[in-house]
Amino acid sequence: DTEVTQTPKHLVMGMTNKKSLKCEQHMGHRAMYWYKQKAKKPPELMFVYSYEKLSINESVPSRFSPECPNSSLLNLHLHALQPEDSALYLCASSQVGQGAVAVQETQYFGPGTRLLVL
Amino acid sequence: ELKVEQNPLFLSMQEGKNYTIYCNYSTTSDRLYWYRQDPGKSLESLFVLLSNGAVKQEGRLMASLDTKARLSTLHITAAVHDLSATYFCAVDMDSNYQLIWGAGTKLIIKP
């Protein structure tokens, strides 16, 4: 099973709203990722969690707040977003290499949440 | 700084033809990934290439890696319409969770 699920599939929100995106995987992967993808562009990494700890934060504005409650779940809390934040938000997960050095493994992507900020 | 360049960025071809997408990267890396993305959809993992000379095939798609030339190719044989999609290559930043992505190649295969 290489399935990553995301909810909701679509989200429309105003600039004053608070919403959350959810991601779940049951592949036993210990690395989970949030990406943002604009049309006709490759995905941009936002956050990485490794063993439920925030490992990478790619200078993302504080209106995006990630959370990893356990090894299977990843949330992205949204608050006071701007119209330019409208995009496809993708969650991904991967194995983590053994030993002290993290080794990149294939990332499996969820179906994404298409976000529109009005 | 690791950079990944794909070419062509856009490719329109007829069914039944063969073509190759190229992915060049600027510094040493041991892992290269190919992904497919259909319009409005997510990214699907196609291949991971781990070592010099690696070749993988799935149906009409074949990917190869030349680490000395820092080049990977995705070859399409006897293209069919269902292969129309955007194809991305991505290279890892050793010992890091980050992938460096190519810009993507939008492939349109006309019946």
Give B53-94 pLDDT, tens digit per residue: 889 999 999 999 999 999 999 999 999 999 999 999 999 876
Question: Is residue B44 within 8 Å of B36, Cβ to Cβ?
Answer: yes
Task: Give phi and psi for B83, each to the nearest 5.
Answer: -85, 0
Closest CA to B33 of B1, B74, B2, B69: B74
Average pLDDT of the residues of chain B: 92
Judged against a pLDDT cut of 70, whether residue A47 lies above it is answered with yes
* Partner A, chain B 28-87, Cβ-Cβ below 8 Å: 31, 33, 35, 40-45, 48
Q: Do B48 and A106 touch (CB under 8 A)?
A: yes
Identity of residue A63: R
Judged against a pLDDT cut of 80, whether residue A80 lies above it is answered with yes
What is d(CA A31, CA A118) in angstroms, rounded to the nearest whole number?
A: 32
What is d(CA B12, CA B5) in angstroms, rounded to the nearest whole number?
A: 19
Identity of residue B4: V
Nearest C-alpha in A relative to B97: A104
**Predicted confidence band of residue B1 (pLDDT cuts 50, 70, 90):** confident
How far separated are the first and last CA of chain A, in Å rounded? 37
The listed range with the strongest mean pLDDT (A94-98, B39-43, B104-108) is B104-108
By the 10 Å C-beta count (0-12 exposed, 13-18 middle, 19+ buried), A47 is classed as buried
Nearest C-alpha in A relative to B104: A42
Provide, as residue numbers in chain A, all residues whose Cβ is less than 8 Å from the Cβ of B101: 42-43
A110 in reach of chain B (CB within 8 A): yes
Q: What is the mean pLDDT of residues B16-25?
A: 96
Across the interface, which of B31, B42, B102 has its CB nearest the CB of A42?
Answer: B102
Count how many pairs of residues, chain A against chain B, have C-beta atoms within 8 Å: 58
Q: What is the mean pLDDT of residues A27-56?
A: 94
